[in-house]
Amino acid sequence: MNAPACIRTLVVDDEPLAREGLRLLLASDPEVSVVGEAGNGPEAVRLIREQRPDLVLLDVQMPELNGFEVLAHLGPGEVPAVIFVTAYDHYALRAFDIHALDYLLKPFRDDRFHEAVGRAKAQIRLARMSDLSQRLMSVLATYGERDVTPAPASAPAPIAAPEPWVRRLAIRDTGRVVFLDVDEIEYIEAADYYVQIHAGGKGYLHRETMQSLEARLDPERFMRIHRSAIVNSRRIRELRSEGRRELIVVLTGGAELRVARSHREKFQHLR
């Protein structure tokens, strides 16, 4: 069996000791090859273009160009997979908004670092398989093999397009960032410029409007039932009528929420 191709990795941090620490952690992984280091933003842009790394461990707070500005200087085909590594938790939301693979808040544990790198390696290999499949089909077309259709059993598995919906939320709390999988959410309530997210018997105050958050959630899973409430349809335990005008949603956690008349039609298709 051939050994998996190395994940070519670039380390970017303005602190030499931080770069050394990352290098040491990566040295224990035989599947990772460090192809360079950068101590500032412009140097990072240059090395990304020259070395074409698969993965960049990218500090956010750096002189001249910060980590986000580094990515903004790159073209669509130049941006590698990115794990942000920083001491500032207030960058977490923005990092996930630009689809960073992960976000490591210093100081982090070694196992947390290796978990992030392991997830990055899996994503990169998936992308390579997709690219290989496309090149193979291109070669067949070039040699006039258009009539040759690979048998379904031997065809490479199709690579699903990434979901456009957010899969987890980064919620800032006092001195920390809590990452909440959207599957855990039972319901969401409006609270002025914030929302109150209810999950696992706890409430999380999150700075985002209902309208903005609703636009990022999968509409097949999350239902707006009222101007100030969104529920996870998979957490609905029962629907209850009260009189002729009221419809109540009862969730698995016991919460009971009223459904506005303008949203009742959605429940005719609920299974």
Long-range contacts of 22-26 (CB under 8 A, 24+ apart): 22/57, 22/85, 25/110, 25/113, 25/114, 26/117
As averages over each run of 10 residues, the pLDDT of the chain (271 residues) reads: 74 93 92 94 94 93 88 82 83 64 83 89 74 50 48 52 71 73 92 84 84 87 92 91 84 92 76 58
Tallying the residues shown for the chain, one arrives at 271
pLDDT at position 151 is 47
Phi, psi at residue 8, to the nearest 5°? Answer: -75, 120
Angle between helices 16-27 and 110-142 (to 10 degrees): 70
Phi, psi at residue 141, to the nearest 5°? Answer: -65, -40
pLDDT at position 134 is 52
pLDDT at position 156 is 54
pLDDT at position 138 is 53
3 state SS of 69: helix
Separation of alpha carbons 154 and 41, rounded Å = 45
pLDDT at position 144 is 47
pLDDT at position 1 is 45
Query: Is the backbone of residue 243 left (phi > 0), alpha (psi -120 to 50) or beta?
Result: left
Who's near 2: CB < 8 A, 6+ residues apart?
Answer: none
Give the 3-state secondary structure percentages of the chain, helix then strand then coil, rounded to 5.
35, 30, 35
The pTM of the whole model exceeds 0.75: no
The runs of H, that is alpha helices, within the chain are 16-27, 41-51, 67-72, 92-97, 110-142, 210-216
pLDDT at position 146 is 46
